[in-house]
Structure 1
Amino acid sequence: MRINNQLKRLFSTTSVRSRGQNLTEKIVQKYAQDLPNGKKVYSGDYVTIKPAHCMSHDNSWPVATKFMGLGATKVKDNRQIVCTLDHDVQNKSEKNLTKYSNIENFANEQGIDFYPAGRGIGHQIMIEEGYAFPLNLTVASDSHSNTYGGIGSLGTPIVRTDAASIWATGQTWWQIPPVAKVELVGDLPRGVTGKDIIVTLCGIFNKDEVLNHAIEFVGSGVSKLSIDYRLTIANMTTEWGALSGLFPIDDKLIEFYQNRLNKVGSSHPRINTKTIESLTKNKEIGDSDAIYAKHLTIDLSTLSPYVSGPNSVKISNPLSKLSNENIPINKAYLVSCTNSRLSDIKAAANILKGHKIHPNVEFYVAAASSLVQKDAEIDGAWQTILDSGAKPLPAGCGPCIGLGSGLLKDGEVGISATNRNFKGRMGSKDALAYLASPEVVAASAILGKIGSPEEIEGKIPKSAEEIVKNIEIPKQELSSNEDSGSVEILPGFPTEITGELLLCDADNINTDGIYPGKYTYQDDITKQQMSEVCMENYDPNFKNISKPNDIIISGYNFGTGSSREQAATCILARGMKLIVAGSFGNIFSRNSINNALLTLEIPELIEKLRIKFANNNELTIRTGWILKWDVTKALVIVVDENGKEILKQKVGELGTNLQDIIVKGGLEGWVKSELTK
């Protein structure tokens, strides 16, 4: 369980729980299942959710395979599920076409809404077709589900096991994250875009301030942002480290849907007069006494065009600075779910009109969907881009994730309107990737270097101002009645968990450090062999130091990296039932619970241990400190080697819904149990 402990301690009493809810909590309240009568949900709570919709893309076949492996034969609710083909659409190999055929056949057999390759990127389809809709909870087995927050839908990613669970039962679990309020004030200057806002946020708040948080965007600046700008910002809250990025319901959003209604017609099953009228009458907002874990503020009027990179979203620089450095580029991209909507294509076309792509540059363009491309063709913007010398790609993903044509080669430099510029993601690991707005990408493609639209006209880019920003962590009043209350315990679930703390003192220990990649696809590896290679890449001596029932404690963002479930199951194979860290990578947290491994976030404890063992250079340290977690009281007590109490802290309550998953050996076991009912 990932715990925001300050808030969890606050939430431990009935009197405090009478407070209001923020917008994230209100939406979860609507989709939470089997709550006790009158119970309100808050950050930190574990809930069973029944999302309005669940999307999967090219990974639909692995999800289907897992679904069938659970013994399921029919999806619980075929109106809940959406399958899109969007990632590897340029791949015409027999293997990929067979997978695509399998997905389509499965969808047809189950009556699932299916969108074939070429229709567009799944996230864009979910918005165009009204699956992700204001004030609903929509999930997808893809990390950029956050995009839906741009239209006021609480969108968040799930892993494949979660998707299979939803297919089979209609439900999965979610822990409501701490919620950060991001206030946008001031007016956005001319020439500054939504992409510049999120690139700036990623670059100036780059110390994991919003890691594993839900974000709610508020403030006077929000109403002046177009919906496409909001979608771009929400999309890249993923890169910022958040689990969701939610914008409010306002008149601009209502207008967006009224315009959309004119396109889809009044008979559309989700975007119609009735749903828009209901939305108009119910512009739900957070309560005035809602609690936020953090409050970040940025003055939009101080922003200028910003560029992310190279090879990291945590690095951002003013465009004016990079322009002066005369960085030549080889490739430019206007593609992806981030910035390939109609307004983006039109903005790029306005820059490119009357110009040609630099002879040393390849410029690739792909619309977010076939509908977007059709609209761009009608507008004339699409032809303008092609006339400049751009190379068209099919509507869908592609270079953004290193698939298909136009990838970066060794030593090349690329600038892209996508969301990620991780080293090697868009091609060679020896290439450099930058992120920018469609306007800057188009201008750079003409100039042959990272540059601005002003430079095409022979003008000097405006210098950046000092950005006005602020971060506040509200001080919460903690209840003195910390030990009150009793948690109901299901038969078979332990009332307490105790073990010696085993310190692995590092931040960002990734899944390859926990379970080496070379073993990931060895399907015949035994549980004993998994146990022996646990943490091998972090510390080869780990297997000689650790013992069953030890409790690993590590730093921040433990389990970052790939989605391999073995990072959790190898720890279980080692005989350990609990991991403690300053914070966890989200996918690792989900995989842990899904496989019956418990997790606790206790930043204070890792800081105490770092002080205690500051002069110890060993990678894995037996601390002699004993942690006892009294599940019935939701209380953790830690004593040192002499029995002295080091820490006493209230943590999150483990509800019976989560206990049931653990008792049944994980989410798959729980699903199988549900299917037999």
Structure 2
Amino acid sequence: MIKLFDTGAYLLRGQLLIKENNRLDLDNLNQRLTTDGLKPLQASPQKEKALAGTMSYQILKQHNTSSNIQNLQIKFDALASHDITFVGILQTAISSGLKKFPVPYVLTNCHNTLCAVGGTINEDDHVFGYSAAKKFGGIFVPPHQAVIHQFMRETMASCGKMILGSDSHTRYGALGTMAIGEGGGEIVKQLLSHTYDIKYPEIIAIYLKGTPAANVGPQDIALTIIKAVFNKGYVKNKVMEFVGPGIYNLSMDFRNGIDVMTTETTCLSSIWCTDEKTESYYKIHGRSEDYQPMQPNDITYYNGVVEVDLAEIEPVIAMPFHPSNVYTIAEVNANAADILRQIEIQVKQQIENPHIKVNLLDKLQNGRLKVDQGIIAGCAGGSYENLVSAAKILGQTPLNSFDLNVYPASQPIFFELMKIGTISDLTLAGTTIRSAFCGPCFGAGDVPANNAFSIRHTTRNFPHREGSKPADDQISYVALMDARSIAATAKNGGLLTAASEETITIPEYTYTNQIYENRVYQGFSKADEQEELITGPNIIAWPKIRSLPDNLLLKVCAVIHDAVTTTDELIPSGETSSYRSNPLRLAEFTLSRKIPEYVNRAKAVQKEEIQRQQVLEEKTTVSDIIPLFNKAFPNNTREQMLSTGIGSVIVAIKPGDGSAREQAASCQRVLGGDANIAVEYATKRYRSNLINWGMIPFTMDQKDLLLLEDDDLIYIAGIREAINSEKTTIQGEIVKHSQRIPITLKLENLSAGERQIIADGCLINYYNKKQ
């Protein structure tokens, strides 16, 4: 079904895979190529030359502004943000000298769409975004028109181009566009005409062969790949390049549905071969000029291969609480009790509140799993083909008590579904039809009842991402499934059911751009510096952040020993997302669903740093009003106080899986955080967010990390000098129980620019200093 190569491999003529450790005899290779109906090669493969044969290499080389392909400095063709990221991004960019948008920047409004929390604050953000689009020359997509990634697919993707978005699911590889999801700081750099700096990534071939069964959808393929690669880190921070004869057997909606889920593998980006189906997609959307054929060279080398036989993949379900926790639906139906007991154990290990009762066995009905809710939504689920397929499977079967809600991903899709009768069919069956909205993906829409089990064709099923609040003893469960099997389950009254193998005919899609022409503000290259930015009372500027002191005294305010810590745990989504424009208010939610005590602990440390600075400014004698300092240095001096900053630190094994949200880092910084300490970082984007907010992404060996406990102090002498001198390790001391324990902290893979941002205190300080 899925095979991971343990070596690199050559791809010949786009179809024949040869492992690196095989004997590359030209005559033998040509005989195999001829047998497969492919033209023979003129020369034997050479690895160095073949490395440059990938589509990824060609795109990255074209967008690289440095003289060294191994140290990329990328400028993107377009940018995209939504309404829980663009306010903070614009405030940062404005504070750093923004005058106008240098490339098309799309501001969509698909997250805080409902304007349901905090009075006027959400609509204030939308008004601010519209005024910014007019002032700086942006593209503004009003609420309910499209989810961010569907709009970008329909209007902005282009073969051979690169797009950067402040949302982790920024993936348009199936359309020949290399897209990357990052935190807001990286968008700011592009807005100021600076570059995205990264080492040249490894390229992994995702070799598709065969044809999916009629009951298998894109989510089934995507989840099966995620299961195979996630825990092994096989594609982490690498580019997934989709090749092989199986691509042609997939429609464009199918390809897009797989592609958007590549984010959950922790890869950097993705790119696909293009063909006449891709060309047809661009033609349908009135953009034939944006198509070009894209294939790897005749001889191409990949650093690894994920070989996928599409014909062998079955309908699957990703059980709580991760997209990689995948079982076939047949497995669950055959062994529901055993599997649910295993999931219960996993859930209890992840839930911090002992008062929450976990009993998934309550969901069994005559040995079958019975679910309470179904959702098909967003950039993964809300496509034309998914919703047509779901409607045809469901038919006119009344839903009765089962709750099924669907969200078409854009108004053009919604309009076409109305024209062909799909909306009528779904409505008559009892389905609730919503507008284009990302809410179910992050807990701001259709929050299940306590202890309810929801199956969703959306992007993630992390703990509490669906909106439940563990501090209030709430829990609900989300499992990910394909729209086809969700419809089959709904038709069966909520009993978990895989879609049947009945072939579904999909009517040809017609795209109507007039919807966007009548509503979307197209302001690129029309910047008006006289336009006034309109702000509401919740739109608060970033607080002033100090630069890195000579020495640091850190207090451990949170220790997390989970194998992986998600950004949802670091800063929850759901209704808290409504406060993304108010860094002070949002910071109150930091780690609130994981370690509720963290905020008060961090504030107490921050208070001592404020007091330290007041003592210095007033030029008074050393005072005993700073307990942490006195605890670490009983015989402290004024000079020591002058050079040693006080801050908080979070310790975790592997933080940062999931969202690109920079607030997972910035909220810590707003509360006085100076660093994270980890064994490794789950994603590049979270590590980048730490750096852009002036926080040091320390790493250390796990055996040493396990020494750290809440309330420990860590003293690091000479940290500024270590950052500025490009040291890769620094010695520190753990201060605990009157002991001083030496530790080694690593400063790995920091570029000169990243070190300067940390030294300056944050990206805003860095740019202001340059000005």
1:150, distance to aligned residue in structure 2 (A) = 2.3
1:636, distance to aligned residue in structure 2 (A) = 5.8
1:287, distance to aligned residue in structure 2 (A) = 7.9
Query: Are residue 133 (structure 1) and residue 173 (structure 2) matched?
Result: no
Distance 1:169 1:76, change over 3 A: farther
Q: Which residue of 2 aligns with 1:40?
A: 69
Q: For the Cα contact (< 8 Å) 2:656–2:686, is it kept in 1?
A: yes
Q: Map residues 378-393 of structure 1 onto 2, 5 A cutoff.
A: 378-393=419-434
1:361 to 402, 423, 429: 402
1:100, distance to aligned residue in structure 2 (A) = 1.4
2:129 to 89, 97, 103: 103
Q: For the Cα contact (< 8 Å) 1:424–1:431, is it kept in 2?
A: yes
2:492 to 444, 447, 450: 447
Query: Are residue 186 (structure 1) and residue 210 (structure 2) matched?
Result: yes
Distance 1:329 1:211, change over 3 A: same
Distance 1:660 1:346, change over 3 A: same
Q: Deviations over 1:224-252 (max 9, x none)?
A: 22221111111111223223232222333
Distance 1:640 1:378, change over 3 A: closer
Query: Are residue 275 (structure 1) and residue 290 (structure 2) matched?
Result: yes
How many angstroms apart in 2 are the aligned matches of 1:83 and 1:230?
25
How many angstroms apart in 2 are the aligned matches of 1:634 and 1:288?
39
2:679 to 574, 578, 581: 581
Q: For the Cα contact (< 8 Å) 2:53–2:301, is it kept in 1?
A: yes
Specify the code of the residue in structure 2 equivalent to 1:223: Y
1:256, distance to aligned residue in structure 2 (A) = 2.2
Q: Which residue of 1 aligns with 2:763?
A: 667
Q: For the Cα contact (< 8 Å) 2:653–2:680, is it kept in 1?
A: yes
In structure 1, runs of 5+ residues without a counterpart are: 1-5, 8-14, 262-270, 458-493, 533-540, 642-646
Q: Which residue of 2 aligns with 1:265?
A: none
| SS of corresponding position for 2:164 | strand
Distance 1:171 1:260, change over 3 A: same
Q: For the Cα contact (< 8 Å) 2:488–2:499, is it kept in 1?
A: yes
Q: Which residue of 2 aligns with 1:394?
A: 435
Query: Are residue 234 (structure 1) and residue 259 (structure 2) matched?
Result: yes
Q: Map residues 650-665 of structure 1 onto 2, 5 A cutoff.
A: 654=751, 657-658=753-754, 661-662=757-758, 664-665=760-761
Q: Deviations over 1:419-462 (max 9, x none)?
A: 112232223352222211111111111211211343999xxxxx
TM-score by length of 2: 0.64
Q: For the Cα contact (< 8 Å) 2:211–2:311, is it kept in 1?
A: yes
Q: Map residues 326-345 of structure 1 onto 2, 5 A cutoff.
A: 326-345=368-387
Q: Deviations over 1:591-621 (max 9, x none)?
A: 23213455477xxx83xx64x999x797889
Distance 1:112 1:521, change over 3 A: farther
How many angstroms apart in 1 are the aligned matches of 2:476 and 2:767?
44
TM-score by length of 1: 0.72
Q: For the Cα contact (< 8 Å) 2:602–2:672, is it kept in 1?
A: no
Distance 1:508 1:250, change over 3 A: same
How many angstroms apart in 2 are the aligned matches of 1:40 and 1:307?
40
Q: Deviations over 1:339-376 (max 9, x none)?
A: 2111111111111223222x121111111000001111
Q: Which residue of 1 aligns with 2:664?
A: 564
How many angstroms apart in 1 are the aligned matches of 2:175 and 2:386?
17
Q: For the Cα contact (< 8 Å) 1:572–1:597, is it kept in 2?
A: no
| SS of corresponding position for 1:310 | coil
| SS of corresponding position for 1:333 | strand
Percent identity among equivalent residues? 19
How many angstroms apart in 1 are the aligned matches of 2:452 and 2:416?
33
Q: Which residue of 1 aligns with 2:325?
A: 315
1:125, distance to aligned residue in structure 2 (A) = 0.4
Q: Which residue of 1 aligns with 2:452?
A: 412
Query: Are residue 65 (structure 1) and residue 91 (structure 2) matched?
Result: yes
Q: For the Cα contact (< 8 Å) 1:194–1:225, is it kept in 2?
A: no
Q: Which residue of 1 aligns with 2:462?
A: 422
2:55 to 18, 23, 33: 23
| SS of corresponding position for 1:145 | coil
Q: For the Cα contact (< 8 Å) 1:17–1:40, is it kept in 2?
A: no
Specify the code of the residue in structure 1 equivalent to 2:188: A
Q: Deviations over 1:263-316 (max 9, x none)?
A: xxxxxxxx24x433xx14xx2536845452x33223222211111113321221
Specify the code of the residue in structure 1 equivalent to 2:241: E
Distance 1:664 1:65, change over 3 A: same
Q: For the Cα contact (< 8 Å) 2:217–2:483, is it kept in 1?
A: no
Specify the code of the residue in structure 1 equivalent to 2:466: M
Larger gyration radius, structure 1 or structure 2: 2
Q: For the Cα contact (< 8 Å) 1:22–1:287, is it kept in 2?
A: no
Distance 1:409 1:302, change over 3 A: same
How many angstroms apart in 1 are the aligned matches of 2:708 and 2:440?
42
2:190 to 166, 176, 179: 166
1:259 to 249, 273, 284: 284
How many angstroms apart in 2 are the aligned matches of 1:116 and 1:175?
37
How many angstroms apart in 1 are the aligned matches of 2:125 and 2:275?
42
| SS of corresponding position for 2:214 | coil
Distance 1:544 1:560, change over 3 A: farther
Q: How many residues align?
A: 576
Q: For the Cα contact (< 8 Å) 1:568–1:588, is it kept in 2?
A: no
Q: For the Cα contact (< 8 Å) 1:183–1:296, is it kept in 2?
A: yes
Distance 1:545 1:591, change over 3 A: farther
Specify the code of the residue in structure 2 equivalent to 1:181: A
When structure 1 is superposed on structure 2, of 191-200 and 662-671 the one drifting more is 662-671
1:571, distance to aligned residue in structure 2 (A) = 11
Q: Map residues 266-305 of structure 1 onto 2, 5 A cutoff.
A: 271-272=287-288, 274-276=289-291, 279-280=292-293, 283-285=294-296, 288=299, 290-292=301-303, 294-305=304-315
Q: Deviations over 1:137-160 (max 9, x none)?
A: 1011111112x1221211111212
Specify the code of the residue in structure 1 equivalent to 2:378: S
Specify the code of the residue in structure 2 equivalent to 1:157: G
In structure 2, runs of 5+ residues without a counterpart are: 1-6, 9-46, 335-366, 469-473, 504-547, 572-589, 612-627, 634-643, 734-743
How many angstroms apart in 2 are the aligned matches of 1:669 and 1:21?
41
How many angstroms apart in 1 are the aligned matches of 2:201 and 2:139?
30
1:83, distance to aligned residue in structure 2 (A) = 0.8
1:84, distance to aligned residue in structure 2 (A) = 0.9
Distance 1:286 1:40, change over 3 A: farther
Q: Which residue of 1 aligns with 2:150?
A: 124
| SS of corresponding position for 2:285 | helix
How many angstroms apart in 2 are the aligned matches of 1:32 and 1:217?
22
Q: For the Cα contact (< 8 Å) 1:520–1:566, is it kept in 2?
A: no
Q: Deviations over 1:34-72 (max 9, x none)?
A: x12xx323xxx3x33221111111122222222333343
Q: For the Cα contact (< 8 Å) 2:82–2:148, is it kept in 1?
A: yes
Q: Which residue of 2 aligns with 1:266?
A: none
1:579, distance to aligned residue in structure 2 (A) = 5.7
How many angstroms apart in 1 are the aligned matches of 2:666 and 2:405?
37
How many angstroms apart in 2 are the aligned matches of 1:158 and 1:80?
17
1:106, distance to aligned residue in structure 2 (A) = 1.9
How many angstroms apart in 2 are the aligned matches of 1:84 and 1:258?
24
Specify the code of the residue in structure 1 equivalent to 2:62: K
Distance 1:57 1:212, change over 3 A: same
Q: For the Cα contact (< 8 Å) 2:164–2:170, is it kept in 1?
A: yes
How many angstroms apart in 1 are the aligned matches of 2:467 and 2:600?
23
| SS of corresponding position for 1:234 | helix
How many angstroms apart in 2 are the aligned matches of 1:635 and 1:399?
45
Q: Deviations over 1:511-562 (max 9, x none)?
A: 7789755666999887564799xxxxxxxx9998999999x99885244577
Distance 1:420 1:559, change over 3 A: closer
How many angstroms apart in 2 are the aligned matches of 1:67 and 1:162?
10
Q: For the Cα contact (< 8 Å) 2:215–2:501, is it kept in 1?
A: no
Query: Are residue 351 (structure 1) and residue 361 (structure 2) matched?
Result: no
